[in-house]
Amino acid sequence: MARSKTKERYASPELHALPGGPLERPPLDARRTSAMSTLAGHRVEELVARFGSPLCVVDEERVRAAYRRMINAFRAGWKDTVIGCSVKTNYLSAVVATLRSEGAWGEVVSGFEYRLCRDLGIPGDQILFNGPYKTDADLELAFEEGAHVHLDNDDELERVAELSKTFRAPRGVGLRCSMNLNYPPWDKFGFNLESGHALEAARAITAEPKLRLRGLHMHIGTYLPDPDVYGRAIEALITFALRLERELGVTIEYLDLGGGYATRNTLHHTLLPGEALAVTAEDYAAAITPPLARAAKQFKQRPRLFLEPGRILIDEAVSMITTVRAVKRGSGQQKAALIDCGVHILPTSFWYDHEIRPVEDRGGAVESYRMVGPLCMQIDCVRQAIVLPSLRAGDLLVIQDVGAYNFSQSMQFIYMRPSYVLIHARGVDVIREREEDDYVRAPERLPKHLVNAETKRSMLVRRK
Ligand SMILES: Cc1ncc(COP(=O)(O)O)c(C=O)c1O
């Protein structure tokens, strides 16, 4: 066959989304979501009348219940288990204080979080200090107060070795380890086990006269609904710890398996709702504690097991109440419900399809809505699509399971942050006041050359 003389230009293939998308969850998303008019016995309408909307509500009893479930599940298999609650997951003082009153230690990744724990009465020696960067001042204080400091990298190890020259007596340190367990590998942190880097670091620590290697740490990721990964992680830590005891003569007093235990929240683009995966504290304990029990006799002393759960303790205990402020027609069939809770106070909307429930169901048809926030930004979308009973301006909604990372990663962007309240058997307490403009503006200063007749009226000038 004769070949065509004119060369056809190559056109790259185009991808077009199928209507609906292959990974939507129609059967479950089309169900009629049941209404939720109370939170722990408190009427949602009354809460809003008292504290305004949006309103973030922490249910104290649920925080306590989550802690108890986790600690009991693990202590049933490994008695010497201690939970250091991940402070960055939710650093509202009332949340940390609630967990503390149940017996939790603190797990921190900055001087700010360390001071927060100390301020709430948690002694330094009940603080686990992680994170890739700790300032010299933070390290000094943490060592002075006997915190469990986990070294993350060679430069930090060098700084700590230098600092240790000022110690009167040797101090313990932990070594953060990493390994290739899952995708994406959680390899920003710590010393790699497979490459031999962790062994090198352990040798370097034991060569320091004022440092003692006391523990090994590994946090393998966040929201990991597969308990088997934890099983493999603890096996690797045990093998490494036993090797260090044999070869370096150290005593490994504790193994710390970090956090990452999943909740029932649903990640975007997953076929099943998080609820269907239903991984429980007991499932994680069943994967983690048996390897410890099997190896117990090989250790010089039975190591303590530290856990650093964040989301599993707090996610499901917190709800955000929001009000529909407008119902808008979109460019297609789907309507948009504009709510007063945006991604600035609900950043987890970027990766979760949060469950949203109406406070009142007036009956009638259900409709699919895009839930958009009040920010003047196209990205301010709390949920791309959700089926709800017909909405109108003024309706109240409850966004569930928002306790992890929403407060600590929130910002006062365009709108100030709302009130945060704690509900408990005795009533309701404000645990964080609604922010006023001054929250943003008070630290500002207006340079002299910008002061003129107009700006003289500004509070910035008046304040001087
Ligand atoms: C070292 C460490 N421990 C614990 C946690 C808590 O993780 P999660 O909230 O997923 O349980 C984190 C969070 O990424 C972490 O970095």
Per-residue pLDDT tens over the stretch 279-320 = 999 999 999 999 999 999 999 999 999 999 999 999 999 999
Residue nearest to atom 16 of ligand 1 (CA): 219
Please give the pLDDT value at position 20: 45
362-406 pLDDT tens trace:
998 899 999 999 999 999 999 999 999 999 999 999 999 999 999
State if residue 107 touches ligand 1 by the CB under 6 angstroms criterion. yes
Residue nearest to atom 12 of ligand 1 (CA): 259
Is residue 85 predicted with pLDDT exceeding 60? Answer: yes
Please, is 327 exposed, middle or buried when counting C-beta atoms within 10 Å of its C-beta (0-12, 13-18, 19+)?
middle
Q: Per DSSP, what are the bridge partners of residue 38?
A: 43
State if residue 308 touches ligand 1 by the CB under 6 angstroms criterion. yes
Residue nearest to atom 4 of ligand 1 (CA): 259
Q: How far is CA 214 from CA 29, 270, 294, in A?
A: 49, 40, 21
* Mean pLDDT, residues 117-124 taken together: 98
- Ligand 1 mean position, distance from CA 197 (Å): 23
- Ligand 1 mean position, distance from CA 86 (Å): 6
User: Residue 106 carries which DSSP code?
Assistant: E
Domains of the chain: 26-57+316-438 (2.40.37.10), 59-314 (3.20.20.10)
Ligand 1 atom nearest to 262, measured from its CA: 10
Ligand 1 atom nearest to 261, measured from its CA: 11
State if residue 261 touches ligand 1 by the CB under 6 angstroms criterion. yes
Please give the pLDDT value at position 350: 97
* Mean pLDDT, residues 256-261 taken together: 98
User: At 269, is the pLDDT very low, low, confident or very high (cuts 50, 70, 90)?
Assistant: confident
* Mean pLDDT, residues 6-19 taken together: 65
State if residue 311 touches ligand 1 by the CB under 6 angstroms criterion. yes
Ligand 1 atom nearest to 313, measured from its CA: 11
Tell me the percentage of the chain whose pLDDT exceeds 70. Answer: 93
Ligand 1 atom nearest to 309, measured from its CA: 11
Please, is 256 exposed, middle or buried when counting C-beta atoms within 10 Å of its C-beta (0-12, 13-18, 19+)?
buried
- Ligand 1 mean position, distance from CA 241 (Å): 22
Q: Do the bridges between strand 396-399 and strand 356-358 make them parallel or antiparallel, or are there none, so unpaired?
A: antiparallel
Please give the pLDDT value at position 333: 83
60 phi and psi angles, rounded to 5 deg = -60, -45
Residue nearest to atom 10 of ligand 1 (CA): 260
Ligand 1 atom nearest to 130, measured from its CA: 1
Mutating to test ligand 1, I would choose from 129, 219, 315 the residue with most ligand atoms within 8 A of its C-beta, which is: 219
State if residue 283 touches ligand 1 by the CB under 6 angstroms criterion. no
Which stretch of DSSP H or E encloses residue 83?
A: strand 81-86
Residue nearest to atom 14 of ligand 1 (CA): 222
Please give the pLDDT value at position 27: 44
* Mean pLDDT, residues 146-169 taken together: 98
Chain Cα centroid distance, residue 60: 18
421-459 pLDDT tens trace:
999 999 999 999 999 999 999 999 999 999 998 888 776
Amino acid at 275: E
State if residue 219 touches ligand 1 by the CB under 6 angstroms criterion. yes
196: alpha, beta or left? (left if phi > 0; alpha if psi -120 to 50)? left
Average pLDDT, the chain: 93
Helices 60-77 & 93-101 angle (0-180, nearest 10) = 40
Please give the pLDDT value at position 390: 94
Mutating to test ligand 1, I would choose from 130, 308, 315 the residue with most ligand atoms within 8 A of its C-beta, which is: 308
